[in-house]
Structure 1
Amino acid sequence: MTGLPALHESLPAAGDRFCVVDSNGDPAAVIEMTRVATEPLGSVTAAYVHAEGRGYPGIAAWRAAHEEFFRSDIVTETLGHTPDLTDETPVLTQRFVLIGRV
């Protein structure tokens, strides 16, 4: 995650398509959301963590990295407070398919 969306932006939905850019900001691929859900942080599964593809060895490492991000200065500044994360904290999970490379 490179930054936070504006707080007024709507959430993605299944069927939405997005252009993915490379590290130079050039279009690289088009993806389509297949599942978008808000669920409790404590319900994120090992299968989801693996599918995210960031190399976390398990749920604990995934959660620690995400808690570190959500307690970071940029998030605190954006929200105006440091979030208190619990197993019940809602998180947005997303799955997508590659439509094609650009």
Structure 2
Amino acid sequence: MGHDDLPALELAFPGPERDRGVSAILSGRKTALTGLLEIYEHAGEAVPVTGQRFSVLDSRGRPACTIEVVDVRVVPMKEIDDDFARAEGRGYSDAAAWRAAHEAFFRSDGVSDYLGRTPVIDDHTLVVAERFRLVESDDPGGS
């Protein structure tokens, strides 16, 4: 299955944050990601399912790699544990550090502009917590 057949996955917003996330996937440090359920609902997108594959795009919108979802849960933010936080590959030492970073991102101007309002972020806010595996890394020379 080629990239054209796969749904695209874009981490954060284009720029340094996305580039760090893609790099962490390619290096094997990042094996989990979290999305705000409200963003999926606003976009009319289904929550990913186990076995689903995605083409991860870089900041220029080009495929960087293919990942496969191995576990997905919709849970309140308070249920994210230290193990999951570390699997995000962003250097979080524990769930508290993960939470602080995700609260800041979910309340950011970019997310607020997209949703048309600043979302309420608290213990009960639902997030989509995915674990994935790297299926293939793309040749930097192109496709």
TM-score, structure 1 normalization: 0.85
Aligned-residue identity in percent: 44
Residue in structure 1 matched with residue 90 of structure 2 by the alignment: 54
Residue in structure 2 matched with residue 2 of structure 1 by the alignment: 13
Partner of residue 127 from structure 2, selected from 91, 94, 98: 91
User: Structure 2 matches for 1:18-97, cutoff 5 A?
Assistant: 18-97=54-133
Q: Distance between the aligned counterparts of 2:113 and 2:64, measured in 1?
A: 31
Aligned letter for 1:87? D
Residue in structure 2 matched with residue 13 of structure 1 by the alignment: 49
RCO (CA 8 Å, sep 6+): is it higher in 1 or 2?
1
In terms of fraction of residues, the more helix-rich structure is 2
Give the 3-state SS of the residue equivalent to 2:97 in structure 1: helix
What is the number of equivalent residue pairs in this alignment? Answer: 102
Choose 59-68 or 5-14, whichever is displaced more. Answer: 5-14
List runs of 5+ in structure 1 lacking aligned partners. none
The Cα shift of 1:14 comes to: 0.8
Aligned letter for 2:80? V
- The answer to whether the 8 A contact 2:83-2:94 is kept is no
**Cα distance change of structure 1 residues 19 and 87 upon mapping to structure 2, 3 Å threshold:** same
Q: Distance between the aligned counterparts of 1:31 and 1:70, measured in 2?
A: 23
**Cα distance change of structure 1 residues 63 and 28 upon mapping to structure 2, 3 Å threshold:** same
- What is the RMSD computed on CA atoms of the aligned residues? 2.0
Q: Distance between the aligned counterparts of 2:55 and 2:114, measured in 1?
A: 25
Q: Distance between the aligned counterparts of 2:47 and 2:131, measured in 1?
A: 13
- The answer to whether the 8 A contact 2:48-2:72 is kept is yes
Aligned letter for 1:10? A
Instruction: Tell me which stretches of 4 or more aligned residues in structure 1 moved more than 6 Å.
Output: 3-6
Choose 3-12 or 25-34, whichever is displaced more. Answer: 3-12
The Cα shift of 1:24 comes to: 4.3
The Cα shift of 1:79 comes to: 1.9
List runs of 5+ in structure 2 lacking aligned partners. 1-11, 15-38, 139-143
**Cα distance change of structure 1 residues 47 and 80 upon mapping to structure 2, 3 Å threshold:** same
